[in-house]
A and B are shown apart, each in its own frame.
Chain A
Amino acid sequence: MMRFLLLFSRQGRLRLQKWFTPMMDREKKKIIRDMTTMVLSRQPRTCNFMQWKDLKIIYKRYASLYFCLAIESQENELLALEVIHRYVELLDKYFGNVCELDIIFNFEKAYFILDEFLMGGEIQETSKQIVNRSIDASDMLQEDDSSEWYEVQLFG
Chain B
Amino acid sequence: MLQHSYTHTAMSPSVPLQEMIRAIRSARTQCEERGVIQRECAAIRAQFRQADNGGRSHNLAKLLYVHMLGYPAHFGQMECVRMIASSRYSEKRVGYLGAMMLLDEKQDASLLITNSIKNDLSHSNQYVQSLALCTLACMGSAEMCRDLAPEIDRLLRASNSYIKKKAALCAVHIVRKVHELGELFAPAARSLLSEKNHGVLHGAVVLITELCERSSESLERFRKTVPDLVQIMKGLVISGYSPEHDVAGISDPFLQVRLLRLLRILGRNNETASDAMNDLLAQVATNTDSTKTVGNAVLYETVLTVLDIKSESGLRVLAVNILGRFLLNNDRNIRYIAMTSLQKIVGTDHNAVQRHRGTIVDCLKDQDASVKRRALDLSLALVSASNIRSMMKELLLFLSSCPPELRSQAANGIFTAAERYAPSKRWHIDTILHVLITAGGDVRDETVPNLIQLITNTSELHCYTVHKLYRALLSDISQQSLVQVACWCIGEYGDLLLRGDCQEVEPMQVCEDDVLDALETVLQSHMSSTATRGFALTATMKLSTRITDNVDRIRSIVSIYGSCIDLELQQRAVEYNALFKKYDHMRAAVLERMPVIERNSSGLINGDPTGEPVKEVQPSKVKTEVSLPLPQAADQTCDLLDLLSSSEQQPQSPPAAGSSILTQPLGTDCSAGRDLLDLLGGLEPTPPPTAVTVYEKDGVTLTIVCEKQSDSAMTVTLTGFNSSDCDVSSFTLQAAVPKSVQLHMKAPSGDSLPAGGAAKVTQVVLLNNPNKVNLKMRIRVSYSCRGSTVQETVQVDSFPGL
Q: Is the interface of B mostly helix, strand, loop or mixed?
A: helix
A124 touches B371 (CB 8 A): no
A112 touches B370 (CB 8 A): no
Asked if A87 is an interface residue, CB under 8 A from chain B, the answer is no
A143 touches B12 (CB 8 A): yes
A134 touches B138 (CB 8 A): no
A82 touches B172 (CB 8 A): no
A145 CA / B94 CA spacing, docked (Å): 13
Q: Which residues of B contact A15 (CB under 8 A)?
A: 68
Complex partner residue of A108 from B64, B104, B371, CB under 8 angstroms? B64
Q: Which residues of A contact B61 (CB under 8 A)?
A: 108
Q: Is the interface of A mostly helix, strand, loop or mixed?
A: helix
Q: Which residues of A contact B54 (CB under 8 A)?
A: 146, 149, 152-153
A46 CA / B374 CA spacing, docked (Å): 13
A112 touches B7 (CB 8 A): no
Residue picked from B245, B333, B336, B369, most chain A C-beta under 10 Å: B333
B89 touches A120 (CB 8 A): no
Complex partner residue of A79 from B12, B253, B332, CB under 8 angstroms? B253
A14 CA / B12 CA spacing, docked (Å): 24
A66 CA / B130 CA spacing, docked (Å): 29
Asked if B162 is an interface residue, CB under 8 A from chain A, the answer is yes
A22 touches B254 (CB 8 A): no
User: Which residue of chain B lies nearest to A16 when distances are taken between CB atoms in the complex?
Assistant: B68
Q: How far is the CB of B456 from chain A (nearest CB, A)?
A: 42
A22 touches B370 (CB 8 A): no
A76 touches B139 (CB 8 A): no
Complex partner residue of A124 from B94, B105, B203, CB under 8 angstroms? B203
A29 touches B10 (CB 8 A): no
Count of inter-chain pairs, beta carbons less than 8 A: 177
A127 CA / B199 CA spacing, docked (Å): 8
The answer to whether residues A141 and B125 also contact, given A82-B253, A111-B97, A126-B254 and a CB cut-off of 8 A, is yes
Q: How far is the CB of A34 from chain B (nearest CB, A)?
A: 15
User: Which residue of chain B lies nearest to A132 when distances are taken between CB atoms in the complex?
Assistant: B6
A105 CA / B16 CA spacing, docked (Å): 11
A141 touches B169 (CB 8 A): no
Asked if A37 is an interface residue, CB under 8 A from chain B, the answer is no
Q: How far is the CB of A131 from chain B (nearest CB, A)?
A: 9
Asked if A95 is an interface residue, CB under 8 A from chain B, the answer is yes
A90 CA / B90 CA spacing, docked (Å): 21
Contact with A along B46-71 (1 / 0, CB 8 A): 00000000110100010011001110
Contact with B along A53-89 (1 / 0, CB 8 A): 0000000000000000000001011110111000000
A14 touches B89 (CB 8 A): no
Q: Which residues of B contact A142 (CB under 8 A)?
A: 89-90, 93
B93 touches A112 (CB 8 A): yes
A124 touches B199 (CB 8 A): yes
B336 touches A47 (CB 8 A): yes
Asked if B21 is an interface residue, CB under 8 A from chain A, the answer is yes
A78 touches B198 (CB 8 A): no
The answer to whether residues A76 and B297 also contact, given A46-B369, A139-B10, A145-B88 and a CB cut-off of 8 A, is yes
A138 CA / B94 CA spacing, docked (Å): 12
Q: Which residues of B contact A109 (CB under 8 A)?
A: 10
Q: How far is the CB of B692 from chain A (nearest CB, A)?
A: 55
A139 touches B9 (CB 8 A): yes
Q: Which residues of B contact A48 (CB under 8 A)?
A: 333
B138 touches A78 (CB 8 A): no
CB neighbors of A among B87-113 (8 A): 88-90, 93-94, 97, 104-106
CB neighbors of A among B174-227 (8 A): 198-199, 202-203, 206
For the complex of A and B, 5 pairs with smallest distance between CB atoms = A78-B297, A120-B137, A149-B54, A120-B173, A142-B90
8 A-B contacts (beta carbon < 8 Å): A22-B139, A46-B332, A78-B297, A82-B293, A119-B169, A120-B170, A122-B169, A138-B130
| 14 extra A-B contacts, CB within 8 A, seeds A47-B371, A79-B254, A149-B54 | A15-B68, A22-B139, A46-B368, A78-B337, A104-B21, A105-B17, A108-B97, A119-B137, A124-B169, A126-B245, A127-B245, A129-B244, A130-B199, A143-B12
Q: A residues within 8 Å of B by Cβ?
A: 14-17, 20, 22-24, 29, 43, 45-51, 74, 76-79, 81-83, 94-96, 104-109, 111-112, 115, 119-120, 122-130, 134, 136-143, 145-146, 149, 152-153
